[in-house]
Structure 1
Amino acid sequence: MKTVKTVTGRTDHVVVVGAGLAGLSCALHLLGAGRRVTVLERGTQPGGRAGVLRSGGYRIDTGPTVLTMPDLLDEALAAGGSSLRERLDLVRLDPAYRAEFADGTAIDVHSDPDRMEAQIRSVAGPAEAAGYRRLRSWLEKVYRAQMHSFIDANFDSPLGLLGADLARLAALGGFGRLGPRIGSFLHDDRLRRIFSFQSLYAGVAPARALAAYAVIAYMDTVAGVWFPRGGMHAVPRALASAAAQAGAGLRYGRAVVSLERGPSGRVVAVRTADGGRTPCDAVVITADLPAAHRLLGRRPRRAVPLRWSPSAFLLHLGTDRRWDRLAHHTLSFGAAWESTFTELTRSGRVMSDPSLLVTNPTATDPALAPPGRHLHHVLAPCPNLQTGPIDWARTAPAYRDSLVRELERRGLEGLGEAVVFERVVTPADWLAQGHGAGTPFSAAHTLAQTGPFRPRNLVPGEENVVLAGCGTTPGVGVPTVLVSGKLAAARITGGTRATGARTVPRDAGRGVRSGARP
């Protein structure tokens, strides 16, 4: 077990800034290690990015809609003396996704290997089905090589990468490029997209992303996708309830505005906009990097400026009808592919032939909408405001209409007329919420911003300040921000991390069932 740096001096009372998934995970792991914890949250409820909008009888998840690796939730809850089974009612989605393509074909993505092999055999033939089996085996090996040593691990320098797992990952081709590596198993362009589009979550096109980021495809297509009854916001509610029961002080409506330092420069208290002062021995900041840097009063020195991930244009639509062709999650791919990533990451233009994620949560939990109504989230990746400084106040209405027309053309007939409630979210809205460059996906996972090269959670020059969240290690996504909270706690407690997450069995939760979809 390697030794990593930790906060020095007393750490009896820790203030966590932010009650998002990272902050709540951190709080639970700190509580489990015997620390006293106060969580200060600027909003009126827990969740951070994983928030909720309640309006007109709708409960709308305003952040992530895809839940994978729920065992990491169980680990955080267990640290606070609770469990996933007690706190959440999870549904395992089957299919995890439905993928629809420009040629009119569709492929259901199953985490069960036999069902997925049969699906691929039926749409792409026996050779591709055999390639899927080889790919699945490779994905499992990539996951095992990474989880313990690279994802669920603190680093003080690149030397921390050295070890047997690094050699295993290299031997697996993890330092090559994702797109070509997936292509070595599968030749059907539709299947290549299904197993490589996830790199967009990391802010890099598949052709340029490290093959190691196939670990995200493992989480989606092998470990499985889940949905909590009550919506994704049920996750932070469960974590906050468990933290409060374990003794954390959760204070909402407390926007942190400054850190008070003692004579040595050590942070001794946190001050809030309402004039409050909370003494502390250590601080964990989970705000996005620009806000964290403002609190610290400085930006860490980097040889290369941070590069931000693409952003997202969101439509939250309440409708008076549903479309049977939609699964809980439907990937609607355009004909374009490489040019799409060029537009998002280099040209700074909206997608000319968009690939979209359409989530229909009321297919699994009808209670999220009023009786007779249905909820749809349409996520269109778009450039961040640094890559594409688009005037969204002027552009958003027309872009919204173009997406609705495109979805109608792709089979959601009458969508525009069926909308009875809507909310539009643009990069300008993400920027107003404090997200760097107007993206909720924070810093991209380029090679120079991955692992020990990503902004570290132990801040240089700060004796008792730690960072958590998607801008620091290990990175973007629900599983990784939960891990980031645990790693931040370990920087304070000196505790060791678990040996890596396991996949939650099918009977986890209070009545797990497969999603009933056609």
Structure 2
Amino acid sequence: MMRAIVIGAGVGGLGAAVRLAGAGAEVLVLEAGERVGGKLGLERAAGHTFDTGPSLLTMPFTIADTLAAADVDLADRLELLPVAPLCRYRWADGTELDSHCDADAMAAAVEALEPGAGDAWRSLVEQGRRTWELSLPLFLSEPLGGPLDLARRSGTPVDPRDILAHTTLDRFAARRFADPRLRQLVERYATYSGADPARAPATMAVIPYAEAAYGAWHPAGGMHRIAEVLRDVAVERNAEVRLGTAVRRVLVEHGRAVGVETADGERHRADCVIANCDAATLYGSLLDAPKAVRAIERAPGSLSGFVLMLGIEGRTEGLAHHNIFFPRDYRAEFADVFDDPQPPHDPTIYLCNPAATDPSCAPPGDESWFVLVNAPQSGPVDWDAEAERYQEHLLDRLDALGLDARRRARVVLRRSPADLERLTGAPGGGIYGTASMGPRAAFLRPRNASPAAERLYLASGSAHPGGGLPLVLLSGKIAAQLALADCA
């Protein structure tokens, strides 16, 4: 029987474990923390439940496909609640726009801000569809080593314009919309991959299509339920999940991964190893692979985030489930994050209020807010020294928005980039590994089949095809398929 070891019980690792165990492999998952989920974390305090990582589920077919590999139906394990509106945007001038998964409703919403913009939005979604239908089978669902792989798979050279890699997201938005508010709305999609919209490829404009095609969802009970379900199914298929078990190094013999050694010195042998940790951690700490480390360091790191978790007394008029408050100077925010690293003075504020959809996350009549702002990684900024001051600054900003947060907050928790690094092992607290900046960015991510050792595979948001729950699940799928092809 094939034996596989998975380092890390994040979503990518658990997804790979479900697939391997479903195929009959003997699977051991080793997780350093005391809870599964990785960045899909969870905090509870005074009756409030906070998801501390991804807060929106799109492309639920990626979960369904993962569970189906173990003969489990998604509908039997997770209740998915539709989120409407998709997001409520508010600009500094007081303008509001509710975004929708329905393309016609969304076109009408943007038309209200700029005459003619409705048709431009439909054109954007259609371009996103064409890019998506090319990218999903040829790129997102398969291992990739470079542009030539994509050309071989498609049978013809791929024009960068077909995947919107020939221009940046901000230029793409500027060509379609005159209104700066609508440009901001489109540019925000760069942050879904931890990037600056002035440097991110316009490929990120596929996101509106994906949202329109697959909807926006919230699992009843919270996003962390996704990790719990993946764990449960893996265990039901005889995988073993050990918590509180840190891996010290990957064991390599004759150029092949043969197991791992844990922090307490115990060794576990296996036919293959799947690393569900940051690629920089794998190559810099668990292996001696300086060439791979240098390749990662040449790519720009993704942004991080500063988080407040607020248990709020009472309900807040005008808040949707997902809310974005844009600053007056959007470019200054990204300069603070990437060019001259410092805590952004006037950041875009994302406020997730899941009680709008799922009241179970808070005491009756109250709300549990997850407040996230873009932030530079730890290292360039001493976040341990800055965290208290920046927490107070953000509470002031929330009050300036009329949310009365400071007075009503019965729970105040925070998580800085330094905290994220300590909790998840992500270098600098980067959320997405390397940032998707530049036309070749997608091809520079670490490969799923490690070049440092045979039978060593990567399944994480820092590896191909990228960050975000759906892509991490696809990363786990690719890694599991490679392992089964090589070892079964």
What is the match of residue 243 of structure 2?
252
Going from structure 1 to structure 2, the CA distance change for 1:440 and 1:15 (only over 3 Å counts) comes to same
1:360 aligns with 2:353: yes
User: Quick one: distance in 1 between partners of 2:224 and 2:393?
Assistant: 29
Note the 1:316-331 alignment, pairs <5 A. 316-331=309-324
CA distance, structure 2, for counterparts of residue 96 and residue 327 of structure 1? 9
User: Equivalent of 2:137, from 119, 127, 148?
Assistant: 148
**SS at 2:207's partner residue?**
helix
1:146-185 paired onto structure 2 within 5 Å: 146-162=135-151, 163=154, 167=158, 170-171=161-162, 173-185=164-176
Give unpaired runs (5+ residues) of structure 1: 1-10, 496-518
Deviations 1:430-481 (A, max 9, x none): 2223111222222112338733321112222412211110111111111111
**Greater shift in the superposed pair: 76-85 or 35-44:** 35-44
2:54 match: 64
Q: Check whether the contact 1:158–1:453 (CA below 8 A) recurs between aligned residues.
A: no
Q: Any residues of structure 2 matched to 1:14-33 within 5 Å, and which?
A: 14-33=4-23
Q: 1:261-276 alignment to 2 at 5 Å?
A: 261-262=252-253, 264-276=254-266
Q: Distance in 2 between matches of 1:91 and 1:489?
A: 29
Deviation at 1:325, TM superposition (A): 1.2
1:128 and 2:121 aligned? no
1:34–1:168 CA distance, 2 compared to 1 (3 A): farther
Give how far 1:64 is off: 1.2
Task: Tell me if structure 2 keeps the 8 A contact 1:20–1:46.
Answer: yes
SS at match of 2:176: coil
Cα distance in 2 for partners of 1:164, 1:207 equals 32
Q: How far did 1:265 drift?
A: 4.5
- Pick from 59, 71, 83 the counterpart of residue 81 of structure 1: 71
Instruction: Quote how far apart the aligned CAs of 1:369 are.
Output: 1.7
Q: SS of the residue aligned with 1:68?
A: coil
Matches within 5 A, 1:412-423: 412=403, 414-423=404-413
Per the alignment, residue 396 of structure 1 pairs with: 387
In the alignment, which residue of structure 1 is the partner of 2:273? 283
Q: Partner amino acid for 2:91?
A: F
CA contact (8 A) 1:96 1:111 kept: yes
Check conservation: 2:201, 2:439, Cα contact below 8 A: no
- Distance of 1:213 and 1:42 partners within structure 2: 33
**2:375 paired with 1:385:** no
Three-state SS of the structure 2 residue aligned to 1:156 is coil
RMSD between aligned residues = 2.1
Identify the residue that residue 336 of structure 2 maps to in structure 1: 343
Q: Show CA shifts across 1:275-302 (max 9, x none).
A: 4432211100111123212111223344
Q: Alignment length, in residue pairs?
A: 480
- Could you tell me the percent identity over the aligned residues? 34
Out of 104, 116, 120, the position equivalent to 1:114 is 104
CA distance in 2, matches of 1:124, 1:192: 11
Q: Cα deviation per residue 1:166-185 (whole Å; 9 max; x = unaligned)? A: 63652464322212212322
Structure 1 residue runs of 4 or more that deviate by more than 6 Å after TM superposition: none
What is aligned with 1:459?
Answer: 450
> Which structure's residues are more often helix, by fraction?
2
Higher alpha-carbon deviation: 237-246 or 95-104: 237-246
**What is the CA–CA distance in structure 2 between the aligned matches of 1:323 and 1:168, rounded to whole Å?**
48
Give distance in 2, aligned partners of 1:166 and 1:244.
43
Query: Structure 1 residues 172 and 488, CA, compared in 2 at 3 Å: closer, same or farther?
Result: closer
How far does residue 18 in structure 1 lie from its aligned partner after superposition? 0.8
> Match for 1:329: what amino acid?
H
